[in-house]
Amino acid sequence: MGVRLLIIATAVLALASSFAEASDPSPLQDFCVAVNDSKAAVFVNGKICKNPMEVDANDFLFRGLNKPGNTSNPLGSAVSPVNVNNLPGLNTLGISLARIDFEPYGLNPPHTHPRATEVLTVLEGTLYVGFVLSNPAPGMKNKLFTKVLNAGDVFVFPEGLIHFQFNIGHSKAIAFAGLSSQNPGVITIANAVFGSDPPISPNVLTKAFQVDKNVINYLQSQFWYNNNN
């Protein structure tokens, strides 16, 4: 299993790197290992660089994607990201990775990555995946593209579009995703709309969703789970 995970992860990263230039800017040096300093006085588009003389191999290493994420939540899924926040050597390289674990009928709910295209490879199980197009023509609805993926299948979610993955099998599923940004970001639609802090005005959501205000009040009173480990 460990060798298979390594092969899949490497392949996904290689695929993602082919379109990385469409998102994060290209580096102007060999590397720019991120300094994890929230109090840094310099603000840049990314993170400031560590002194190259202090960089070592550990700055380019992350361990642990051989271990499944904690799927004991109502969604039945867990996303284990590897980005610039836990792998400083990714800074300026325009790429990141995630492992996604699913319980039977587990869901990675509709979400977007505002700064990255995602290429997904299924390692185990059967996933129903899809994304929704933006800017429908007048009088038309947003078009949905869906596919059922099995082990070894690859699917691409274009940058910024709402997408999802749902385990339709009777056993657990594992997938790896490569993303064309060192820090792709994630906006889970339901969490953002109904679980924002402070809450969006119920008057806004009632009109937007064309439902009774009691429905909105109920949805805003729920606890919206985050499946990112």
Predicted pLDDT at 46: 73
Tally of domains within the chain: 1
Quote the percentage of the chain above a pLDDT of 70.
85
Q: How many CB atoms lie within 10 A of CB 95?
A: 25
pLDDT in tens, 164-173: 999 999 999 9
pLDDT in tens, 188-215: 999 999 999 999 999 999 999 999 999 9
Kindly report the CATH number assigned to the domain that includes residue 161.
2.60.120.10
Per-residue pLDDT for 20 more than 90? no
> Which residues contact residue 112 at a Cβ distance below 8 angstroms, ignoring those fewer than 6 apart?
160, 161, 162, 163, 186, 187, 189
Q: Indicate whether 222 belongs to any domain.
A: no
Q: State how far the Cα of 7 lies from the Cα of 18, in Å rounded to an integer.
A: 17
Predicted pLDDT at 36: 75
Contact of 112 with 160, CB cutoff 8 Å: yes
Predicted pLDDT at 24: 75
Per-residue pLDDT for 22 more than 70? no
Q: State how far the Cα of 82 lies from the Cα of 63, in Å rounded to an integer.
A: 10
Structural domain range at position 12: 2-185
What is the chain's length? 229
* Segment 102-109 mean pLDDT: 98
Q: State how far the Cα of 11 lies from the Cα of 3, in Å rounded to an integer.
A: 12
The mean pLDDT of the chain is 89
* Segment 136-160 mean pLDDT: 95
Predicted pLDDT at 28: 64
Q: Indicate whether 214 belongs to any domain.
A: no
pLDDT in tens, 30-89: 778 888 766 665 656 678 888 899 999 999 999 999 999 999 999 999 999 999 999 999
Q: Indicate whether 229 belongs to any domain.
A: no
- E strands in 54-181: 77-82, 96-102, 107-112, 118-124, 127-132, 144-149, 154-157, 163-167, 173-179
Q: Indicate whether 197 belongs to any domain.
A: no
Predicted pLDDT at 82: 96
Q: Indicate whether 116 belongs to any domain.
A: yes
Predicted pLDDT at 228: 87
Q: Indicate whether 176 belongs to any domain.
A: yes
The pTM for the full model equals 0.85
